[in-house]
Amino acid sequence: MRLFVLFLLSIISLNTFADDGYRLWLKYDRIQNEALRKTYAQKLATVSINFSDETSKVTLSELEKASLGLLGVKTKLVGSNASLVLKKEILTDKNSEAFEIKSTKNQIVISGNTSKGVLYGVFELIRRIQTSESLENLKIASSPKIQLRMLNHWDNNNGTIERGYAGMSMWKWYELPERIDTRYIDYARANASIGINGTVLNNVNASARFITAEYLGKVKALADVFRPYGIKVFLSVNFASPKILGGLKTADPLDPEVKQWWKNKADEVYKLIPDFGGFVVKANSEGEPGPMDFGRTHKDGANMLAEAMAPHNGLIIWRAFVYNFDPKGDRFAAAYNEFKKFDGEFLPNIIIQVKNGPIDFQVREPISPLFGAMEKTPVSMEFQLTQEYLGWATHWVYEGPMFEEVLKTDTFAKGAGSTVAKVIDGQLFKYPLTSMIGVANTGSDRNWTGHPMAQANWYTLGRMAWNPEITSEKIADEWVKMTFQSDKKSTETIKKIMMESREIYTNYTNPLGVHHVMGESHHFGPEPWVEKAPRPDWTALYYHRADTVGIGFDRTEKGSNSLAQYHLGLRSKYSDINTIQPEFLLWFHHAPWRHKLQNGRTVWDEMVTRYYEGVKSVENMQRQWASIKGKIDSETFENVEARLKTQHKEALWWRDASVVYFQKYSKMPVPSPYQKPARTFEELKSLVDVYHVK
């Protein structure tokens, strides 16, 4: 009997120490520190609430889950004299999502102008408990600096996800609207906990099918699930829908029948989903239809749709990711050239959504020149959480430092201090609409994001959209504590790896600002040798321009002069080859191989050093990870351990392929102490097939 009990106990404890990652950062395992747990428990013993709606229900249910899990306490709902008071009341800050948390010795009061504000306040309280913070004498007042904080899913109606590396789509269209998967609710909880208040359900390469009556019924079912959590749904639309669905002869935005078709469609959508967010449009980009197919402009197309949505307060989010092929041009300059000329001519319910960099989600890009250029048209930030160019789901890259670097970049649009954060939160140009989005990295994988550590990127997007000036380190700290509930040493170790991970990835893949040298079309692994593709700007050669003289894309006035799109202050940081930060060197200069950097090394030696040191750093990541064995749950530990092994293998591939290929041009030796790669060029080239990524 005794043995049997011991056996049972061991199973139970093993189970509690295995975690499939499904609960994300809302982990709610019992707090081990008894004294702390008791203090919190007292504070959450009773709760009162002065409003009743769908949001109040989910708020109370979250509170109950958290306090039962973290504290072992079943919070009691009482009429008055509660230890925790939730109330709707008018705050000094009139933002509809604002909240305040105040605490006295015996009571915590969370208030909001709306029930949504209270919900956010409750999540803040839970976060403080999860991160072991004191709840004494709180005087917190918080409201989001950015209005629209969204995920964009690139999910297709057949269940696949464009650039998705965490399984299939979470949206089970074939089951909707009848069956509501509980995952939808957990998705909404996770998003609400970090302030995300919008979701674009489908791919920007949009099937027109999403706005048929059949699909709108399904979308409505999801909107109903998300509404109590303060989340609005949006859809990407296909600009040719009037032709595809409506049988019209054209989709010309100036055609009266086309205009009417979209008005009717907007009416139909809003009749079903009165708080529908709006449409996202990828037009005349990478083969998608758009107004230019009819001799019109982006302005004509966006304004036509905006007119249809305006009576319902719906938004048009028009993407600036356009780069018509110009044999003499520089893709870097395309979006600015296309949109700057229309600044101030877009209707007020339009936002221009701009990717953080001018090319396409490379691990390091200088900012898109459109930030700082559109003074009269709101531009929003599009980051990519899914790691299309960042090693898919096998490379650990915490994107927080990258987002932070972008947001802190000074555009100099109104003198020094005109950071991207201030552009997109509306401070700089007084934008009436503000938004930050992340291309989602979620899928049907049990842990949502494939790589367990990639959950942090989702978390970070929400936190930075709430406050674009918060540091990535602070966010990493929160996320690790909430996700692992581990000891101080392990927490610090994981955080340290996170904070270094992006630079490490940069070193073994894209040192000194070399960019777009990944595999063609699948975007995995190195293929710097791609010289031919359906379009020259889809090759690697177009970007790295390696020759016997040097490497890099000259964007100064001697080259494409795309640098001229930046304000002087920023331009001058990049225009001088001798003073530019080395991390951006090859973005703007064709640097001679033997050009000396400030540290005394030549460009070639520095590149090679970074490739080799990058790989060594992955080995260090592995060592650091190994040091926390037994300190976090075994399932996540082993999952990450295995992925790090793959990352190491692939980092070696990147290093060797890049060094061997570029050496053909530099004709310089691999500097000591590094050993020349043992693999031949042919061997390295063929690895793309070995990894089955094509």
Interface positions, 263-282, toward ligand GCV (CB under 6 A):
282
Give the residue with the Cβ less far from ligand GCV, 64 or 162: 162
Positions of E strands within 211-337: 232-237, 278-281, 315-319
Classify each residue of 462-484 as buried b or exposed e, where b means 16 or more C-beta atoms within 10 Å of its C-beta: bbbbbbbebebeebbbbbbbbbb
- Minimum distance from residue 404 beta carbon to ligand GCV (Å): 22
The residue among 25 and 383 lying less far from ligand GCV, judged by its C-beta, is 383
Binding of ligand GCV by 232 (CB under 6 A):
no
Report whether 428 contacts 680 (CB < 8 A).
no
Residue 592 burial by Cβ neighbours in a 10 Å radius (0-12, 13-18, 19+): middle
Catalytic residue among 300, 388, 477, 650: 388
Question: How far is the C-alpha of 459 from the C-alpha of 443, rounded, in Å?
Answer: 15
- Residue closer to ligand GCV by CB (options 379, 475) is 379
Beta bridge partners of 110: 86, 101
Site for ligand GCV in 280-299 (CB under 6 A): 282, 286
Applying CB under 6 A, which part among 198-206, 251-259, 536-544, 646-654 lies near ligand GCV?
Answer: 198-206
CA 349 to chain centre: 24
Stretch that binds ligand GCV, among 202-210, 223-231, 249-257, 667-675 (CB under 6 A): 202-210
Residue span 601-640 as binding mask against ligand GCV, x where in contact by CB under 6 A, dash where not: ----------------------------------------
- The answer to whether residues 508 and 611 touch, using CB atoms and an 8 Å cutoff, is yes
| The binder of ligand GCV chosen from 42, 205, 622, 646 (CB under 6 A) | 205
**Cβ–Cβ < 8 Å for 466, 144:** yes
- Min dist CB 456 to ligand GCV, Å, is 22
Give me the least distance between CB of 193 and ligand GCV, in Å please: 27
Span from 201-209, 221-229, 343-351, 364-372 in contact with ligand GCV (CB under 6 A): 201-209
Crossing angle, helix 488-509 and helix 472-484, to 10 degrees? 130
661 belongs to the binding site for ligand GCV (CB under 6 A): no
**Residue 542 within binding range of ligand GCV, rule CB under 6 A:** no
The minimum distance between CB 154 and ligand GCV, in angstroms, equals: 5
Nearest to 112 by CA among 93, 94, 88, 95: 88
- Residue 685 is encoded by which pair of tokens? 């080239």
- Secondary structure (H, E, C), 616-666: HHHHHHHHHHHCCCCCCCHHHHHHHHHHHHHHHHHHHHHHHHHHHHHHHHH
Run of H or E including 305: helix 298-309
Member of 127, 149, 153, 163 binding ligand GCV (CB under 6 A): 163
Q: Which stretch binds ligand GCV (CB under 6 A): 203-211, 395-403, 413-421, 568-576?
A: 203-211
Distance between CA atoms of 524 and 650, rounded to whole angstroms?
10
DSSP letter string over 143-205? --SSSEEEEE--B-TTS-BTT--SSS-S--TTTTTT---HHHHHHHHHHHHTT--EEE-S-SS
| 25, 483 Cβ separation under 8 angstroms | yes
Cα–Cα distance measured from residue 141 to residue 129, given in angstroms and rounded to the nearest whole number? 17
388 is catalytic: yes
When the beta carbons of 50 and 160 are compared against ligand GCV, the nearer one is: 160
Question: For residue 70, what are the contacts with CB-CB under 8 A and spacing of at least 6?
Answer: 28, 29, 30, 31, 37, 40, 126, 129, 130
* Smaller CB separation from ligand GCV, 535 or 664: 535
d(CA 166, CA 210): 22
**Catalytic, out of 54, 257, 286, 487:** 286
Contact 196, 151 (CB under 8 A): yes
Among 29, 93, 124, 162, binds ligand GCV (CB under 6 A): 162
Catalytic residue (one of 29, 186, 360, 473) = 360
For residue 279, which of 266, 292, 263 has the smallest C-alpha distance?
266
Q: Which is nearer to ligand GCV, 320 or 482 (CB)?
A: 320
Q: How far is the CB of 647 from ligand GCV (least distance, A)?
A: 22
Minimum CB distance to ligand GCV, residue 395 (Å) = 17
Size of the site for ligand GCV (CB under 6 A): 11
| Residue from 482, 385, 390 nearest 190 by CA | 482
CB of 236 to ligand GCV, least distance (A): 9
User: Measured from the CB of residue 388, what is the shortest distance to ligand GCV in angstroms?
Assistant: 6
Q: Is residue 360 near ligand GCV by the rule CB under 6 A?
A: yes
Q: Which is nearer to ligand GCV, 109 or 204 (CB)?
A: 204
The nearer residue to ligand GCV, 382 or 656, going by C-beta atoms, is 382
The interface mask with ligand GCV, positions 374-393, x = CB under 6 A, is: --------------x-----
How near is the Cβ of 285 to ligand GCV at its closest, in Å? 6
Q: Please pick, from the candidates 40, 99, 123, 154, the single residue that binds ligand GCV as defined by CB under 6 A.
A: 154
Contacts of ligand GCV in 311-330 (CB under 6 A):
321
204 binds ligand GCV (CB under 6 A): yes
Q: Distance (Å, rounded) from C-alpha 561 to C-alpha 575?
A: 10
Considering beta carbons, is residue 307 or 360 the nearer one to ligand GCV?
Answer: 360
Closest CB to ligand GCV among residues 21, 358: 358
Name the residue type at position 21. Answer: G
Length of the chain: 694
- The catalytic site residues sit at 286, 360, 388
List contacts with ligand GCV (CB under 6 A).
154, 162-163, 203-205, 282, 286, 321, 360, 388
